[in-house]
A and B are shown apart, each in its own frame.
Chain A
Amino acid sequence: MYPEDLRYNKEHEWVRRENGRARIGITHYAQEELGDVVFVDLPEPGSTFQAGEAFAAVESVKAVSDIFAPVSGRVVEVNEALADRPELINEDPYGEGWIAVFEMDDPSELDGLLDAEGYRKMVEG
């Protein structure tokens, strides 16, 4: 539920560090709260976002939710598979359900995020 190798923000996004890049998605808890995802609004590759800024949106049968950038950077890759199969977010949130890859402006921003234990405590209270 809370992979050890990831960092998390309080808005239920996860980051996986891949050298200077960051792969980003939403957590298992987030997809469960949202319910079945029916549409994902992906950012344009090349666009830049500050940490905390909304860079994508996920629409479920219940609501539309902004997805906030956990780190600042430039979008270098988006998960095109989500266009046809938004359910990947529900089925495999930490794997095939990733949303985008950022070229990070400042990898030290990762230090400000929660680790798996911190995120677990936040969710489970």
Chain B
Amino acid sequence: MTRAISGYHLEGSVPLIFEKGAPGRRGYRLRERAVDELPLDELTPPEHQRQQDAPLPEVSELEAVRHFIALSRRNYGVDVGFYPLGSCTMKYNPKVNELMASLPGFAHVHPYQPEETVQGALELMYNLEKYLCEIAGLSRATLQPAAGAHGELLGLMVMKAYHESRGDHHRVEVIVPDSAHGTNPASAAMCGYKVVQVGSNERGSVDVEQLRALVGPNTAGLMLTNPNTLGLFEEDILEIAHIVHEAGGLLYYDGANANAILGRARPGDMGFDIVHFNLHKTFSTPHGGGGPGAGPIAVREDLVRFLPVPMVEKDGDRFYLDYDRPDAVGRIKAFYGNFGMLVRAYTYIRTHGPEGLRRVSERAVINANYLMRRLAGHFELPYDRHCMHEFVLSGVRQKKQGVRTLDIAKRLLDYGVHAPTIYFPLIVDEAIMIEPTETESKETLDEFVDIMLRIVREIEEDPDLVRNAPHNTPVRRLDEARAARQPNLCWCPPVEGAAGE
């Protein structure tokens, strides 16, 4: 293969940076040392010292820049185009968030700095906690969890600490709906709970009668997403909360879909006792590509004592970190959480204000309903009722024509659109889960509908075009099964003198 030196080509793969450069080439030179060198043996025992130099890339600055720019041009993000990945809330992340997070007083603080010198950072955390509690309708929150699933695990640890503090050691079951995010049963299992599944009814909501039969003296709690993963509001939530509480269990709110309810409904008012928010979904902090994320949890008054150390407290005008919390579940993250994300989420909340946040959810819901109604005639709509911020279509009609949802998702890439979430939730056959978010214009939504309808026509006229998609991307259809069965995660330097492949 010839490697074009023109940067305009998006065809083919980008060589690894290890395959570029030449021995001895440098892009950066460290400044002359200002302190004396210490013998390495004094710092690290000889058995822990590397015997050979690490095979790091040796490239010029320009080679490094071109390499990463080439990769970034193959990247797809919400700054590039429409990203209707259901359940992920891929909203636009305002650039003012980045500006605030890069202020030296936020960006350059060190976690070991004396409290007196980071009062502003502590104040931001203190206030963000208050805002999240107000949005959740609960008493106190911790900002430490690094992601939604981390928040779930902590929430369940709090649930466990609560039951054990009451001597309820037999409460070993956590109930999750069959439409739940996979993280719910995974977090419960990781926390040592037995997972019990409750089914959905024909309206796509928790089957209340089934739930009533499942709860009992062994119930620790129910994990619920509201609106649920079908994008539908759990209309029986008050009754569900009553059933779980009456059985002695707690109600956990998976905040993945909180973008639908900001300032409109509060989980605490619905009866939830523990809530996590995904700041990287609902509160516009960057998302995907490894994060970092942030998954704060808020709890009701009598669960506050179990929240992890440290908590940010205020004494007069002074903010401080409180480690004196004997009932706390311990530490769950080094230092205080992903602080840069907290700055961004704080900025987002302050720039919107209560009225702005209400409009966020209102528009997210209107956008989703608009898209759903425009697409409903062309795809199966298994639960035909008003949706919240997202909705789930089924590709069964197209499957009968020999084209599967996966093929449709791949064909969307050819049109420059990120594919929706597919094959989830598991209770919908050939699921296509679409979440447009509030930040997209009507023009973008209409364009997406046009593309979807074009694909529907292609399926009728030239199904192979869709079955073999994508055609216009840097690489064609990837072999997902082989990637999972025989993952190739290492790069080995070519052996000197060996023949080619």
A-side residues, CB < 8 A to B, are 35-39, 59, 61-64, 86-87
Contacts and interface: CB of A to CB of B under 8 A. Distances in A.
Interface of B: 182, 423, 426, 480-481, 484-485
A38 B426 contact: no
A64 B426 CA distance: 10
Interface class of chain B by DSSP: helix
B485 A86 contact: yes
A38 B481 CA distance: 6
A61 B484 contact: yes
A87 B423 contact: no
B480 A61 contact: yes
Contacts of A87: 481, 485
A86 to B, nearest CB: 7
Contacts of A39: 484-485
Nearest to A59: B484
Nearest to B405: A62
Residue of B182, B423, B426, B485 with most chain A CB atoms under a 10 A cut-off: B485
Nearest to B484: A38
A123 to B, nearest CB: 13
B193 to A, nearest CB: 16
Nearest to A90: B481
Contacts of B426: 63
A36 B423 contact: no
Nearest to B423: A62
Contacts of B423: 62-63
Contacts of A38: 481, 484-485
A37 B481 CA distance: 7
A62 B480 CA distance: 10
A38 B483 CA distance: 9
A38 B487 CA distance: 11
B346 to A, nearest CB: 37
A62 B423 CA distance: 7
A39 B481 CA distance: 10
Nearest to A86: B485
A87 B480 CA distance: 13
Q: State the 7 A-B residue pairs at the shortest beta-carbon distance, nearest first.
A: A36-B481, A38-B484, A61-B480, A62-B423, A38-B485, A61-B481, A38-B481
B168 to A, nearest CB: 27
11 contacts: A35-B481, A36-B480, A36-B481, A37-B481, A38-B484, A39-B485, A61-B481, A61-B484, A86-B485, A87-B481, A87-B485
A62 B188 CA distance: 21
Contacts of B485: 38-39, 86-87
Contacts of A86: 485
Residue of A35, A39, A61, A86 with most chain B CB atoms under a 10 A cut-off: A61
Contacts of B480: 36, 61
A35 B484 CA distance: 13
A35 B423 CA distance: 11
A35 B481 CA distance: 9
Nearest to A33: B429
A111 B46 CA distance: 69
Given A36-B484, A63-B426, 16 more contacts: A35-B481, A36-B480, A36-B481, A37-B481, A38-B481, A38-B484, A38-B485, A39-B485, A59-B484, A61-B484, A62-B423, A63-B423, A64-B182, A86-B485, A87-B481, A87-B485
A39 B485 CA distance: 7
Contacts of A64: 182
Contacts of A61: 480-481, 484
B409 to A, nearest CB: 12
Contacts of A36: 480-481, 484
A87 B270 CA distance: 46
A39 B426 CA distance: 19
Nearest to A63: B426
A119 B106 CA distance: 63
B433 to A, nearest CB: 13
A36 B482 CA distance: 9
A1 to B, nearest CB: 17
B165 to A, nearest CB: 32
Nearest to B430: A33
Contacts of B481: 35-38, 61, 87
Contacts of A59: 484
B152 to A, nearest CB: 18
A36 B426 CA distance: 16
Nearest to B480: A61
A36 B481 CA distance: 6
B427 to A, nearest CB: 11
Nearest to B485: A38
B35 to A, nearest CB: 52
A64 to B, nearest CB: 8
A57 to B, nearest CB: 12
